[in-house]
Chains A and B, each alone.
Chain A
Amino acid sequence: MTLAARIGLQLGTLDLQVELELAPGEVVALVGPNGAGKSTVLRCLAGLVALDDGRIELDGAVVDDPVTDVFVEPEQRPIGFVFQDHVLFDHLSVLENVAYGLRARGVARADARERARQWLDRMGLADYGSQRPAALSGGQAQRVALARALAPDPRLLLLDEPLAALDVGTRAAVRRDLRHHLGTFDGMRLIVTHDPVDAHALADRVIVLEAGRVVQSGTLAEVTAHPRTRYVADLVGVNLVSGGVVDGVLSTASGARVVIADAPDGPTLATIRPHSVVIGRGEAPGSSARNTWAGSIVDIDRLGDRVRVVVDGELPLTAEITGSALADLRLAIGDRVHASVKATDIEVAPA
């Protein structure tokens, strides 16, 4: 199962021109600022909006092509859609919500309910089948929305800001949950988000959309090392470090230690913004920065007057410095350097 889409659409002031491809089983995050057209891309793929021009192919079958006048209705496409704030059917029970897609596709009532029950089991919601969706917590409602979308066995799962409706407290737990359940699904997954942390946790690859155009695509590390625009640099191109926190120190799988401020113990995802990383030549000097790691420069990338310096070492990091700092320090690929960050400049979120 593959997806190949060329989307051309005028919607109000939005001029959407997007090409994207998904490989079988791939998980891709569609990242971008509000109004970039992320959700509209999902709506086009689902058939909720028809293309002005372009073409969408799902596994070789054309589902939308204005030139040849092909448009496959949403109910005929092998897709699942998880909406922002879930959009469960309030007048149906949780079980009937999950069984809905099977019933709509003509599966007999008893069979549909049995399969829905199995889905609820798998989602840890076996006891909630007879409840109304209004009685569920945000995280539970999201699992029901996911089960409902997955029950008819789609080949492409579209998730629109699946974590945006949740408060900070439950977000991490639901994200972990979502990653687990998404992992058990073997079709393609396309997730819209504006949070690089979500993209990192859930996806193999990110596609960055700005004002209706794809500005960049690649792994998050690639995007961080070589951001193509200011938006990408400031909001998507960040260093994400995962590990376990004990007594205010995060240890990564490769053994690096990161001192952080005010973080509870447990699995944690730390965000280190490249512009808060300081690069120095040679050995680490004494300073108030709690974190200093040795390494060598493996890449240098210019974006306007700012330069991204990729350091490989104990803790692989990308730093952002000015062009004049680069010139003053005469930094070049292969140079030994140290990178330091103040503990208070590191943002943490439970993973």
Chain B
Amino acid sequence: MPWPAVVLAAIAVAFFALPLVGLLWRAPWSNAWMYLTDDTALTALRLSLVTSLCATALSIVFGVPLAWLLARVDFPGRGAVRALCLLSMVLPPVVGGVALFFALGRRGLVGQYLDDWFGITLPFTTAGVVVAQTFVAMPFLVITVEAALRQLDPRLEEASRTLGASRWYTFRRVTLPAIRPALVAGAVLAWARALGEFGATITFAGNFPGTTQTMPLAVYLSLETNPEEAIVLALVMIAISFGVLLSLRDRWFGAVSRPMQVAA
């Protein structure tokens, strides 16, 4: 038994577990139900679920083609494009929010035309929340799906083409089933990131109860006004995230970490 490694690993586990224990310890169990059914909490929870699922859907619709492009098409500047698309993973979310504001705000580079031509305003709206969440979440899906596509034997797709299948049929019947574990894992990661999104949302979409105040924003705000409520809301978010990770752990993450099987 490599004891030093075990000790260090145990410290790491404690490091992740302690904050959770701290929350449970301070949780106002007798008033929990009241805070949970509180209007602010329910509204924020519903808004968080709706916007994070929308952001996940958008990430899939645009992220899968992007991942395919990055994995399969050898175009000049591909490395730069990949770095650009993954930038928001490492960018401080607040910076992302500011950048979104100057691009898509009412006086922004593109936002002014959205406003003038289509009457679409994104900042400080629920749609703006979705945009901010998609901005930070999509890279997680792209990076996961791209890795799976790179591992996939390109001859599977070629075999399909020689059998009379179009590109689209090949994608649906061969590529998609083969990368499905990675797609699910990437979607879950993106969803979790969107659900937890704070900085870009508050910068770009503000903090209006009912339209842009998502759970993380509600937690942060109630910390100043009512710490007990903050703890309950935080525990709800932890429970949701933990539940999803647990239910998916072996089925999907296990399948992703194994190399894609090619017909023996």
Known: A48-B158, A89-B156. A141 touches B164 (CB 8 A): no
Q: Nearest CB to that of A144 among chain B residues?
A: B263
Q: Which residues of A contact B177 (CB under 8 A)?
A: 91
Contact B162 A81 (CB under 8 A): yes
Question: Which of A48, A86, A134 is B162 in contact with, Cβ under 8 Å?
Answer: A48
CB distance from A162 to the nearest CB of B (A): 14
**Is A104 close to B, CB under 8 A?**
yes
- Looking at the complex, which of A72-80, A201-209, A271-279 is the stretch in contact with chain B? A72-80
B78: interface (CB < 8 Å): no
> For this complex, into which size category does the number of interface residues on chain B fall?
20 to 34
Task: Identify which of A83, A133, A152 contacts B164 (C-beta below 8 A).
Answer: A152
B72 at interface, CB cutoff 8 A: no
Chain B nearest CB from A285 CB (Å) reads 54
Closest to B165 in A: A104
In the complex, whether A307 has a CB less than 8 A from a CB of chain B is no
Q: Contacts of B155 on A, CB cut-off 8 Å? A: 83, 87
Contact status of A79 and B162, CB under 8 A, knowing A90-B261, A104-B169, A133-B263: yes
Does A31 touch B at the CB level, under 8 Å? Answer: no
Cα separation A87 to B264 with both chains bound (whole Å) = 8
Q: Are A89 and B263 within 8 A (Cβ)? A: yes
Chain A residue at minimal CB-CB distance from B155: A87
Tell me the smallest distance from the CB of A345 to a CB of chain B, in Å: 37
Query: Which of B153, B161, B173 is A74 in contact with, Cβ under 8 Å?
Result: B161
Q: Does B104 contact A (CB under 8 A)?
A: no
Please report the C-alpha to C-alpha distance between residue A73 and residue B159 in the assembled complex, in whole angstroms: 13
CB distance from A221 to the nearest CB of B (A): 33
**Beta-carbon contact of A134 and B264 below 8 Å:** yes
Q: Does A189 contact B (CB under 8 A)?
A: no
Contacts of A90 in B (CB 8 A): 178, 261-263
Min CB–CB distance B74 → chain A (angstroms): 13
Contacts of A104 in B (CB 8 A): 160, 163-166, 169, 173
Q: How distant is the Cα of A79 from the Cα of B161 in the complex, in angstroms?
A: 10
A75 touches B262 (CB 8 A): no
B161 A73 Cβ-Cβ under 8 A: yes
| CB–CB A87/B262 < 8 A | yes
Given A87-B153, A89-B263, A100-B173, A81–B159 Cβ distance below 8 Å? Answer: yes
0/1 string, A56-90, CB within 8 A of B gives 1: 00000000000000000111010111010111111
Q: Are A75 and B263 in contact (CB under 8 A)?
A: no
**Is residue B110 within 8 Å, beta carbon to beta carbon, of the partner chain?**
no
With contacts A89-B263, A90-B261, A100-B173 taken as known, whether A83 is within 8 angstroms of B159 at the C-beta atoms is: yes
Q: Is the CB of A80 within 8 A of B160?
A: no
User: How far is it, in angstroms, between the C-alpha of A104 and the C-alpha of B162 when the chains are bound?
Assistant: 10
Check B159–A75 contact: CB distance below 8 A.
Answer: no
Q: Does B9 contact A (CB under 8 A)?
A: no
**A101 CB within 8 Å of chain B:** yes
CB distance from A111 to the nearest CB of B (A): 15
A322 CB, min distance to chain B CBs, angstroms? 46
Are the CB atoms of A105 and B156 closer together than 8 Å? Answer: no
Q: Chain B residue with minimal CB distance to A84?
A: B155
Closest B residue, CB atoms, query A77: B162
Interface residues in A131-187 by Cβ distance below 8 A to B read 133-134, 136, 138, 141, 148-149, 152
Chain A residues positioned under 8 Å from B159 (CB to CB)? 81, 83, 87, 89
Q: Is A16 an interface residue (CB 8 A)?
A: no
Query: Which residues of the other chain, B, contact A152 by a CB distance below 8 angstroms?
Result: 163-164
CB distance from A121 to the nearest CB of B (A): 20
- A232 in contact (CB, < 8 A): no
Asked if B174 lies at the interface with its beta carbon under 8 angstroms from chain A, I say yes
Which one, B161, B166, B169, B263, contacts A88 given CB within 8 A?
A: B263
Is A297's beta carbon under 8 Å from chain B? no
- The smallest C-beta distance from B176 to any residue of chain A, in angstroms, reads 10
Whole-angstrom distance between the alpha carbons of A48 and B178 in the complex?
21
Q: Mark B155-191, 1 if CB is under 8 A from A, else 0.
A: 1101111111110010001100110000000000000
Q: 30 interchain pairs (CB within 8 A)?
A: A46-B158, A48-B158, A73-B166, A74-B158, A75-B161, A79-B162, A80-B162, A81-B158, A81-B162, A81-B163, A83-B159, A85-B264, A87-B159, A88-B263, A89-B174, A90-B261, A90-B263, A100-B165, A100-B173, A101-B163, A101-B165, A104-B163, A133-B263, A133-B264, A134-B261, A138-B264, A149-B162, A149-B163, A152-B163, A152-B164
Given contacts A79-B162, A81-B163, A149-B163, 4 further A-B contacts (CB under 8 A): A83-B158, A88-B263, A104-B160, A133-B263
The 5 closest A-B pairs by CB, nearest first: A104-B165, A88-B263, A101-B163, A81-B162, A74-B161
Residues of chain A touching chain B, judged by Cβ–Cβ distance below 8 Å, are 46-48, 73-75, 77, 79-81, 83, 85-91, 100-101, 104-105, 133-134, 136, 138, 141, 148-149, 152
Contact surface of B with A, Cβ cutoff 8 Å: 153, 155-156, 158-166, 169, 173-174, 177-178, 261-264
